[in-house]
Structure 1
Amino acid sequence: MTIQWFPGHMTRAKRQIEEKLKLIDVVFELLDARIPQSSRNPMVDEITGTKPRLILLNKADLADPEMTAAWSRYFRSLGKETLAIDANAGTGVKEISGKARELLRDKIQRQVDKGMKPRPVRALIVGIPNVGKSTLINRLAGRNIAVTGDRPGVTKGQQWIRFGGDLELLDTPGILWPKFDDPQAGFRLAATGAIKEDVLHIDEVACFVLQELVGRYGFVLAERYGLEELPPELPDMQSAIDVLENIGRRRGCLTGGGHVDYEKAAGILLRELRAGKLGRITLESPDDFELGG
């Protein structure tokens, strides 16, 4: 399965970022802490080149803290400074400006040595749709200056935003790459809401999620939905469908004939996953990938 999804405004955003790059000091790459690798856009490396990078693991409040720590260690091993944040609550956000200035310490010192007054740091914020960019901007500004939403495609254009006297931020629309060759990455993105729900079948996404969760957080599923003891893994789609059916029956997702409405049951599972009602869950770890950078 290859998922194609690259709306026209994302093509324009890529071109506009390339045009503005010469004005940028540092790049803030915003990732979803629940799926750090799947929510990384490989085009960011291509577009931003060697610009200093600060990786922000957003929605850390929804992610498994042990996994977030593991991902932070991984990115730092690649020489990429990392900060776990919760833009919605503001956790970690006040540290962003200081981290950016640390990355630019040598450049700022050269300006001081020349008798120049350092200008505000100019940062580019990039990330896939629905990763929390607008929420982060509003949190940094202390007021609502960017449109937010729980669906991809809310931000449509670029804008420069100044925060205090030491940071200027260029916001961009969320960018997804032209296609997802890795079906698991596509399913993870769909599970967390980065891809519009009409791109994939919701029951297939739910079954994928169940296969991931049984291995990592089976006890959470059993407790949340009152399920009997779950197996250590769900080896095939049918076994995942069986669990989804049980969830549907437990939640009353039944048709007039007493059959389970799988789409309704899938919707419940995904909404509760996204809202954190299943607990703090991460759908991938560095060990799942042969990562090289």
Structure 2
Amino acid sequence: MSSYKRLWAKVRKVIREADVVLEVVDSRDPYGTRSEELEKMAKDLGKPLIIVINKADLVPKEVMDKWKRVLSREYETIYISARERLGTRKLWVAIKKVTPRKPIKVAVVGYPNVGKSTIINLLRGRHSAGTSPIPGYTKHVQLVRAATWLKVVDTPGVVPLRGSEEELVFKGALSPESLEDPLPVALKLIEEGLSKDPEVFRKTYGVKGDDPPTIVENLAKRRGLYLKGGRLNVEEAARIIIRDWQQGKLVFFYTPEDYNLE
């Protein structure tokens, strides 16, 4: 069995344990961080699915409301910020709404870096887990009682990704450290950022520039990133940009209009 199929087998196992599946997506790109394959698997296994748009504190409320309205046409949808503990009551209500079973067993599934472990900790009511910004990292597997009516599968299902290096980085499945040459991906990320918010790199890093190469160079200068001989270390500047995108420190976002969904 290929590693890709093995990863999907793990996701299937997590979903089978559950009565309800929470598909966690990133508020900056909810549609782009959905998984059709995951949604089909939940449907085939007869499990109700709730789309949980996480990191809602990063995006304006009116944009979150638009996404909720659009995605609710297909699935029960809520938006929360697990890190800031915002919207947790909405999560309880949504879980109770989709199934009459008690106690309800919940699985938390999604791409790397969308905040699955934080949501598991939120459901458990404490911040005790081994969470880490390294994509795909989680510690142990067990079913944990979170309330008299709720049990949580204590390991998130990490949806495996196939695609270009660029796509894998954008969705948090490849860390900047794992890239032999991070520059092309970072340049594409900057291009996307400039198209969404021309001021985003000035606001985030205090650097100016109208094109991706200039922004990378200016960031390297600002951070004092030089190699021997005085050459700018643009590769390290590129890694900083990728890392900050994956960790939610660099913020630009997509709207339903970007996907022709309104």
TM-score (norm: length of structure 2): 0.83
Partner Cα distance (1:275, 1:134) in 2: 14
SS of the residue 1:102 aligns to: helix
Alignment of 1:249-288 (within 5 A): 249-278=221-250, 280-282=251-253, 284-288=254-258
Partner Cα distance (1:70, 1:141) in 2: 29
8 Å contact from structure 2 (residues 106, 153) kept in 1: yes
Amino acid paired to 1:101: K
8 Å contact from structure 1 (residues 151, 194) kept in 2: no
User: Match for residue 134 of structure 2?
Assistant: 151
The answer to whether residue 175 in structure 2 is matched with residue 196 in structure 1 is yes
Q: Residues 82 and 92 of structure 1: is their aligned pair in 2 closer, same or farther, counting only changes over 3 Å?
A: same
Partner Cα distance (1:44, 1:200) in 2: 30
How far does residue 175 in structure 1 lie from its aligned partner after superposition?
2.5
User: Match for residue 220 of structure 2?
Assistant: 248
Structure 2 unpaired stretches of 5+: none
How far does residue 44 in structure 1 lie from its aligned partner after superposition?
0.9
The answer to whether residue 51 in structure 2 is matched with residue 51 in structure 1 is no
Q: Between Structure 1 and Structure 2, how many residues are aligned?
A: 258
8 Å contact from structure 1 (residues 31, 57) kept in 2: yes
Partner Cα distance (1:27, 1:7) in 2: 21
User: Match for residue 86 of structure 1?
Assistant: 81
Structure 1 unpaired stretches of 5+: 109-117, 232-238
Partner Cα distance (2:18, 2:231) in 1: 57
The answer to whether residue 11 in structure 2 is matched with residue 14 in structure 1 is yes
Amino acid paired to 1:201: D
Q: Residues 157 and 15 of structure 1: is their aligned pair in 2 closer, same or farther, counting only changes over 3 Å?
A: farther
Partner Cα distance (1:269, 1:76) in 2: 33
Amino acid paired to 2:41: I
Partner Cα distance (2:41, 2:233) in 1: 44
Aligned residue among 54, 58, 67 for 1:71: 67
> Radius of gyration: which is bigger?
1
Alignment of 1:228-239 (within 5 A): 228=208, 230-231=209-210, 239=211
How far does residue 275 in structure 1 lie from its aligned partner after superposition?
4.8
Q: Deviations over 1:111-163 (max 9, x none)?
A: xxxxxxx6212222211222222222222222345321111232265421211
How far does residue 262 in structure 1 lie from its aligned partner after superposition?
0.9
RMSD after superposition: 2.9
Runs of 4+ with deviation above 6 angstroms = none
Give the share of equivalent positions with the same residue, in percent: 31
8 Å contact from structure 2 (residues 83, 118) kept in 1: yes
User: Match for residue 97 of structure 1?
Assistant: 92
Amino acid paired to 2:80: I
TM-score (norm: length of structure 1): 0.75
Aligned residue among 16, 24, 37 for 2:18: 24
8 Å contact from structure 2 (residues 175, 243) kept in 1: no
Q: Deviations over 1:46-91 (max 9, x none)?
A: 211153221111112233444333222210132x121111112211
Partner Cα distance (2:61, 2:220) in 1: 29
Partner Cα distance (1:30, 1:257) in 2: 46
Amino acid paired to 1:89: E
Partner Cα distance (2:138, 2:207) in 1: 40
